[in-house]
């Protein structure tokens, strides 16, 4: 349980520190080119991940925070109950990332995004460190669910 808290906490700290730096150094609508295909671009998301539901949730930060908080609690309970260390780590990363975004919603009514991947004129929706933690956590869970991995973990127990 301590390792899960440390992992989730590390995700929250990494996310909040990177967002604080972005808020201090970047201006909305003024992208900073890092390398071709990657900019730092400050933006704010009132919706779910990658801007989904932003129209529906616009002006309703407490509703979005409540939904995020409820889902975070569900994932935290799942992390404590699973027997798979990889699933547990993945769920802890999701909890940490979701908590980082929840802090933004409660503090400023929207999530701070600043990472911008693009190809020519096509831009992926801006994202942040919390979104990276959530995505990495989901990939850990998917990898742990591969049948051959599942069988090996069961045999070890």
**Could you read off the pLDDT of 72-84 as tens digits, one per residue?**
999 999 999 999 9
**Could you read off the pLDDT of 10-41 as tens digits, one per residue?**
999 999 999 999 999 999 989 999 999 999 99
Question: Quick check: is 131 catalytic?
Answer: yes
* Beta carbons of 26 and 114 less than 8 angstroms apart: yes
Among residues 15, 104, 116, 131, the one annotated as catalytic is: 131
Question: Quick check: is 104 catalytic?
Answer: no
pLDDT at 15: 98
Among residues 15, 104, 113, 116, the one annotated as catalytic is: 113
pLDDT for residue 48 is more than 90: no
* Beta carbons of 50 and 125 less than 8 angstroms apart: yes
Give 37's contacts (C-beta < 8 A, 6+ positions apart): 117, 118, 119
Judge residue 59's burial from the number of C-beta atoms within 10 Å of its C-beta, 0-12 exposed, 13-18 middle, 19 or more buried.
exposed
* Beta carbons of 100 and 131 less than 8 angstroms apart: no
Percent of the chain clearing pLDDT 70 (strictly above): 85
């Amino acid at each position: 349980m301590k390792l899960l808290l440390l992992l989730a906490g590390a995700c929250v700290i990494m996310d909040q520190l990177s967002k604080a730096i972005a808020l201090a150094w970047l201006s909305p609508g003024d992208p900073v080119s890092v390398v071709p295909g990657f900019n730092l671009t400050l933006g704010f998301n009132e919706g779910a991940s990658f801007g989904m539901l932003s129209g529906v949730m616009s002006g309703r930060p407490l509703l979005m925070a409540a939904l995020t908080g409820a889902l975070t609690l569900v994932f935290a309970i799942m992390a404590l109950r699973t027997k798979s260390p990889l699933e547990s780590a993945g769920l802890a990363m999701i909890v940490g990332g979701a908590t980082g975004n929840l802090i933004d919603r409660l503090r400023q009514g929207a999530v701070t995004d600043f990472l911008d991947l693009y190809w020519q004129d096509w831009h992926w929706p801006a994202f942040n460190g919390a979104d990276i933690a959530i995505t990495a956590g989901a990939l850990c869970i998917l990898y742990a669910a591969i049948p051959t991995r599942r069988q090996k973990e069961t045999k070890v127990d």
